Amino acid sequence: MPLRKLRNIGIAAHIDAGKTTLTERILFYTGVTRKTGEVHDGQATMDFMKQEQERGITIASAAISCQWNNHNINIIDTPGHIDFTIEVERSLRVIDGMIAVFCAIGGVEPQTETVWNQADRYKVPRIAFVNKMDRSGADFYEVVTMMNNYLDANAVPFQLPIGAEESFTGLIDLIEYKAYNFTEKGREEISIPADMIETAKAARITLIEKIADFNDEIMNLFLEEKEIPCDLLKIACRDASLKLLITPVFCGAAYKNKGVQLLLDAVVDYLPSPIDVGAVVGTDLIETEKTHKRCPSAKEPFAALAFKIINDPFVGQQTFIRIYSGLLKSGMPVLNSTKGKAERIGRILRISAKDREDISEAGPGDIVALIGMKLTKTGDTLCDVDHPLLLENIHITPPVIELKITPAVRKEQEKLGEALRKLSNEDPSFTVRFDEETAETIVAGMGELHLEIIVDRLKHEFKVDVVVAEPSVAFREAITAELDCDYKLSKQTGGKGQFANVKIRMEPNPGKGYEFVDKIKGGSIPAEYVVSVNKGIQKTILEGVLAGFPIVDVKITLLDGSFHPVDSSDMAFRTCASICFKKGFMRAAPVLLEPMMKIEVNTPDEYIGDVVGNLNRRRGVIESMRRYRKGSQKLNGLVPLMEMFGYASQLRNISSGRANYSMEFLRYSPVNATIQEQALKKLAEKKEQE
C-alpha cells in the first residue's frame, strides 16, 4: 500500500477520558476484533497487562494496526496517568498525528494540558474527539471554549451534536453538511433536524471563515458568496490541520458506538501520512552542527528511532522502532549511532497488542518490534552503517520518588537485580541504584502509583517477593558559596607510596549542572592526572556528601597542585580530589534541594477553602485560580513532593471524593534551614535503625 495511505497515530488524553474504550471501538469497526472489549471488565484488547486489567487504567502504551477506507492505520493507545507520562512522551516522539480525547463533562483536565504540551514539543498535528456526549453534564460547546482558552488550540467544530446527555442521538457533519443518527444497527443518514438548521448553518459559516484565513481560493469563493465544493473544503481543512493552524473537533460517545466511524474518516482525511510529515532531520556524528535529511522513501539510507522496550516472556526483549527511511531486513547489519556500535537485526515482528507476526522486511513509516538487539535502548538511533546520523532523542523527566527494596529471601538478590535491570531498560523514567554502604537497592520513579506497579510486576511477572520500605524523596545536594580548597595526600606504606596534591575552586552553577575547568599551568599536574581529578570528583558528586544524595549545579576549577614522579598514580589523584571536594563542600554552605511539583487541583466551589488551606499546610504556593466549569474551580500552584505523601486519600476526604488533582515534577529548589535540619535528622535516624 502506498505511503500516502498510511497513518501513524496516537490516542492521548487525561485519565478516564475514554481513550482505551475509543480504541476498542476502532478495532471493532475496522474488523480487527469481533467484539468490543471493555475496560471495566478487564477485557480491553489494548490493556493486556494484569495490572491494567485490575485497575481499569492504561499503564503501558500498546501498538496495533488496522485498515479503514483502503488506508493502513497504526494506532498507539497511551496512558493518561501522570506517573506514566514517559509512555506518552515516547509515543508522541514517533507518531505522525494524534487524536486528543476530551471528556464532554471534564473538558480540559490537568493531564490534558501536559499531553498537549508534549504534542506541541514534537509538532504533532492533532484532531480532537469530545467523548461521553451521552453522560449527564456533557457540554460540547463548553469543551471547545476550554480548548481555546487553556490550550490555545484554535479549536474548530467539524461536527455538532444532535442533543446531549440522555438525548444525544446523532451528529451533524459540517463539512459535507449531512446529519447522522446512531442505532444498534450502525449509523444512518438523516435530515438535519429542523430546530438545528440555523445553528448548523452558522457553525458551517464560522468553519469556512476560519479556513478562509489560510486559503485564498476559499476566501474568494466566500466573499463572492459562491458555493464551496466539499472536496476543496476538505483539502483546505487538511492543509490547515497539518500545519497546526487549527484543531478540528469531532464528538461522540465511544462506549455507545456513536461517532466512531466518522472519527475514522477524519483520521484518513485530516491526519498526516509519513509523506506529509516529510523528511526527518538528523545530526552528523562528527560535525555536530551539520545535519542530514532522510525522506520517507525505501530508496533512502535506513534510519529509525528505538522508542520502547518490552520484555516478553515468550520471545525475550522486544525493541520497538519507528522507521523513517530505507528498508530494514532480517539479518542486516545496522549502526546504533547513539552508542557508536554495530548491531545485527534478528527477527522483525509486526505487533498487534499482545499478538505478533513475523515479517521479513519493513519500510518507511512502519512501527515494528525487533528481537535480539543487545545494545539498543529507548531513544537510540539505528541507521545505515555507511550513512550514519543521530536523530533527536526522547525527553525524559527525572524520577522524583524513591523506595528501598530488598528480596524477601536473601538468595533471590541476584534474581531481583536481573528483574530490575529489565524493568529499567523498559522504562527510562524508572531508575535503580545500589547503595554500597547500606547494601540496599534503591529504586526511583515518577510517583507512588508508578512504583506500586513496579513492585506488583516484580511479584507477579518476575516471581520475586520483595520487602518495600516507605517512600522517600529523592533530594539533591548543592553549594551556595564559593571557596578555594586544597588537600595533600601523602602516604608511605613501606613500598610505593601514594602522593597527590590538588587545589580547587568550587562555586555554585545554577541550572548548568556539573562543570570542570582545567587551569593548570606549567605542568604542575600531568594531563593524565587532571583526568583522574575530574573522575574522583564526579564519583563523589554521584554519592553525595551531606546526606548521600547526588550533588548538582557545581562548577569546579582545578587551580594548582603537585605530583611525585614515583608515588603519584591515577588512584592517588582520584582519592585526593575526592577528599578535597568533600572538605570544601561542607564549608561552602551546602543545602538540600527538594523536588518541587507543579500541581493542579480541580474542585467544586464549596470545598475551595479546605483545599487551599490543606495545600498551604503542605508548604504549597497557589499561583492561580480560575473558573474550571460551572460550580468548579481549578487551582494551579507549586508544592514540595515531600509534603504530598497520602494527599490523594486526604483530598478525597476533604471533597467527598469530588475533587481530583494532577502533579508533575517542575524543578529542584533549596529547602529552608529548619526543614533541612529536620530532614537530615530524620535521614540519620533511619540509617541508625537500619
Distances (CA, A) of 209 to 64, 215, 516: 37, 10, 58
Rounded to two decimals, the pTM is 0.67
**Strand 367-371 with 316-325, pairing:** antiparallel
SS3 483: strand
Question: What is the Cα–Cα distance from 482 to 60, expressed in whole angstroms?
Answer: 45
pLDDT the model gives residue 538: 94
pLDDT the model gives residue 630: 66
pLDDT the model gives residue 627: 76
Q: Phi and psi (nearest 5°) for 66? A: -150, 175
Residue 243 has pLDDT above 50, yes or no: yes
Closest residue by Cα to residue 109 from 660, 665, 611: 660
Look over the chain and give the mean of its residue pLDDT values, rounded to a whole number.
Answer: 84
pLDDT band at 87 (very low <50, low <70, confident <90, very high): low
Q: In this predicted structure, which of 86-100, 423-437, 585-599 has the lowest mean pLDDT? A: 423-437
Q: What number is the average pLDDT over the span 255-279?
A: 93
pLDDT band at 55 (very low <50, low <70, confident <90, very high): very low
One-character DSSP codes across 506-560: EEE-TTS--EEEE---TTSS-HHHHHHHHHHHHHHHHH-SSSSPPB-SEEEEEEE
pLDDT the model gives residue 587: 93
pLDDT the model gives residue 80: 43
Distances (CA, A) of 132 to 127, 140, 252, 339, 352: 16, 10, 7, 46, 26
Distances (CA, A) of 84 to 40, 60, 110, 342, 452: 20, 8, 14, 31, 12
Distances (CA, A) of 258 to 12, 251, 457: 19, 9, 36
- Tens of pLDDT, residues 338-374: 989 999 998 898 876 556 788 889 999 988 888 888 8
The residue ranking higher by pLDDT, 66 or 104, is 104
The residue ranking higher by pLDDT, 237 or 313, is 237
Question: What is the Cα–Cα distance from 545 to 532, expressed in whole angstroms?
Answer: 19
- Tens of pLDDT, residues 278-315: 999 999 888 878 889 999 999 999 999 988 887 776 77
- Tens of pLDDT, residues 574-591: 999 999 999 999 999 999
Give the full edge-to-edge strand order of the sheet including 347-352. 341-344, 333-336, 381-383, 303-312, 316-325, 367-371, 347-352, 355-359
- Tens of pLDDT, residues 363-422: 999 888 888 888 888 888 999 999 999 998 777 766 767 778 888 888 888 888 888 888
pLDDT the model gives residue 249: 97
Question: What is the Cα–Cα distance from 518 to 530, expressed in whole angstroms?
Answer: 7
- Count helices and strands (H / E) in the chain: 17, 37
Rank 8-12, 355-359, 486-490 by mean pLDDT and report only the highest.
486-490
Residue 435 has pLDDT above 70, yes or no: no
pLDDT the model gives residue 219: 93
Closest residue by Cα to residue 471 from 620, 351, 336, 642: 642
Distances (CA, A) of 27 to 34, 250, 354: 9, 19, 14
Strands (E), 87-177: 97-103, 126-131, 155-157, 159-162, 170-173
Question: What is the Cα–Cα distance from 228 to 210, expressed in whole angstroms?
Answer: 14
Residue 114 has pLDDT above 90, yes or no: no
Closest residue by Cα to residue 391 from 528, 293, 319: 293
Is residue 175 within a helix (H) or strand (E), and if so which, with residue range?
none
Q: Among the residues of 180-229, which ranges form H helices? A: 197-212, 216-223
pLDDT the model gives residue 240: 95
Report DSSP state, residue 258: B
Residue 629 has pLDDT above 80, yes or no: no
Within a 10 A sphere around the Cβ of 545, how many other Cβ atoms? 19
Rank 165-179, 597-611, 652-666 by mean pLDDT and report only the highest.
165-179
Residue 326 has pLDDT above 50, yes or no: yes
Strands (E), 104-148: 126-131
If you search the block for the grid coordinates 453522560, which residue do you land on?
A: 135
Residue 268 has pLDDT above 90, yes or no: yes
- Tens of pLDDT, residues 554-568: 999 999 999 988 888
